[in-house]
Amino acid sequence: MKGVLMSGVFISYRAVNDGYAAPLVHKGLVPVFGEDRVFFDPETVKAGDDVPERIRRRLRASTVLIVEIGPNWFEVKDIDGNRRLDNWKDFVRWEVRKAFKWNLHVVPVLLDGAEFPADPQLPKDIAALARKKRMRLRREHTEADLAALVVEMKRFVPTLPQTDGSTNGGSPSATTVVDQRRSMRVKGGVKNSILSQGDVNVRRFR
């Protein structure tokens, strides 16, 4: 696939209510793996890009799909009141479905106390998500949870070389993580400044 590295992390998220964690994960992974190996669409999709095609190409080139699951992830509805996951064309469902089809390593990340329902009623094409080992990203334990996620990603994605020729074995520092959280804090809690300002053309797919 010309111009795209065949290894990397793709971050799948719901902009409507889970968007704060995606930029935090992106900023935490990039120093370890590099910008070219971490896909987060508001940062990676550029003006003039064909959004669905860009997403398809980067997902196809990835080795890991992180599925960020907030408290309302299973029940988010469209403007007509229908559950988005029940729509075969829903982009988040499409990403998970294709990740399984293309044999990516799929990692569900539960946000802020979210839990998998006993009966999540997932569509058949993404039902395997319920059997995957889950990780967590909690606001009160961001540093530790993000560090654990970095360790997991290192199993599948090459790290950036250091100036001495060694690979990047570190994870985001406490100061870096705290600064990232503060930069995205607004009245009513933490919110993704990128998503709130919004590339509308990207947001409408999520």
Q: Flag whether pLDDT at 12 surpasses 60.
A: yes
**Domains in the chain, CATH or no CATH each:** 9-200 (3.40.50)
Q: Flag whether pLDDT at 145 surpasses 80.
A: yes
| Residue 144: band (very low, low, confident or very high) from pLDDT cuts 50, 70, 90 | very high
pLDDT > 90: percent of the chain:
58
pLDDT (0 to 100) of residue 48: 85
Segments in the chain forming alpha helices (H): 21-33, 41-44, 51-61, 91-101, 142-153, 174-183, 193-197, 200-203
Chain mean pLDDT for the chain: 81
pLDDT (0 to 100) of residue 17: 67
Q: Which pTM was predicted?
A: 0.80
